[in-house]
Amino acid sequence: MEETISLRELVEIILKGKWLITIITAVAVLIAALASFVLIDPVYSAKATVSVNNGLVPGKQPEEMDSYFNEIITPAAYIERVKSPQVIEAAIKKSGLKQYNIGQVQSNLTVENVQNTNLVNIKLKGTNPSDVKKMLDSILLAVKESLFTEIQKRVKKDSDHFAAQAKLEKEKLERLLKEYRQKAQALQLPPSLLLDAVISYNNQYIINLDQEHLQGISSITETDLISLNELSNEIKSVSDVYRQYTSKEQQLQAFSKIFSVDNKVLIISAPVEPETPDSPKPLLNIAIALVVGLMTGIGVVFFQHYWQESK
C-alpha cells in the first residue's frame, strides 16, 4: 500500500528547508539582476511610420505625370529600397556614424507593410538611443533622395527622347515646306499668295491653299492643285506630330523643375530618441528569476528529503 503524505508534512518539509530555498531564490534573482543591469547591453529602438503613395494628398504635378511615381513608389518597392545597401550606405554617410557598417544596420532594421494599407512601419534597433534615431532619420532622407534621383533620371530620359523625336519631325517638316515653296514658285504663284499659303507661328504650320485662293490663275492645273493639297496635308500631319513631341518635352522639362516626392512619401510618425530600452527588462527578468528560484529551491528541498528518507 502506497504511503500518503499529508499537507502538514509538505509544509513542514518546505519550512525545514526554507534557508536552502531562500539561498537558491536569492542566487537566481541576483543572477537576473546582474544580467539585466550589468552583463547585457540595453537595446533601444527608433520607429517611424510612412505613408507610401496613398493618393490622398494632392500634388503640384499634373495627374498625367503620376505614372512616374506609380511605377516606382509602392509599399513593396519602398520596403526594398529602405533595405538596399545603396540606401544604407548613403544613410551612414549622412549620419556621420561611420562606426556602423551596412550589414550591422541591415540586421537591426525591420521594415513591414501594414496589411491592406499603404503604411510602412520601420524600426531600427541599437545600443545607443541617439544613434538609432539619427540613423533612422538618415535612412528616411536617403530613401527620399534615392526616389527623387530615379524619377528625375526617368523624366530626363523621356524628355531627351521627345526632344530627339521633335528634332527629326522638325527636319522633316522643313524639307516638306521647302518642297512646297519650290512647287509654288515653279507654278509662279504671286508672292502675296505664297505668304498666305505657308504661315509659321509658334511651331505651328498652317497651309491655306484652296480653289478660292487660286481663282484667276489659269496656269494652275487640277493635277498641280491636287499635288499641292497632298503636300499641304502631309505638312499638317507632320506639324501635328512635331507639336505633340514638343509639347511633351516642354511639359517634362517643367515637371522636372517642380516635382517632389514629399506628397507621395509622407512621414506619418517621425523617429524620436527612445528613452527606455526594449530589452533587457529588469523587473520582468527579476520576477521570472524569483518564480524559477522558488520552484527550484522547493524541488531541491523535496529531493533532499526523499533522498534522506530512502536510505
Q: Residues 36-46: pLDDT tens digits? A: 777 778 889 99
Residue with cell 539619427: 134
Q: Which one of 3.30.1890, 3.30.70, 1.20.120, 3.90.550 gives the CATH number of domain 21-158+261-298?
A: 3.30.1890
> What's the mean pLDDT in 284-291?
88
Q: Give the residue with greater pLDDT, 108 vs 232.
A: 108
Any idea what the Cα angle at residue 216 is, between residues 213 and 217, rounded to 5°? Answer: 80
The residues, any chain, with a CB within 8 Å of residue 188's CB and separated by 6 or more, are 219
Q: Which of 273, 297, 295, 300 is nearest to 47 (CA)?
A: 273
Q: Is the pTM of this model over 0.85?
A: no
Give helix then strand counts, H and E, for the chain. 10, 6
Residue with cell 522636372: 256
Provide the pLDDT for residue 9.
80
50-107 pLDDT per residue, tens: 998 755 444 445 556 677 777 788 898 999 999 999 999 999 999 999 899 999 999 9
- Kindly report the backbone phi and psi dihedral angles of residue 156, in degrees, each rounded to the nearest multiple of 5, phi listed first: -65, -40
137-174 pLDDT per residue, tens: 999 999 999 999 998 898 899 999 999 999 999 999 88
Provide the pLDDT for residue 97.
92
Q: Give the residue with greater pLDDT, 276 vs 122.
A: 122
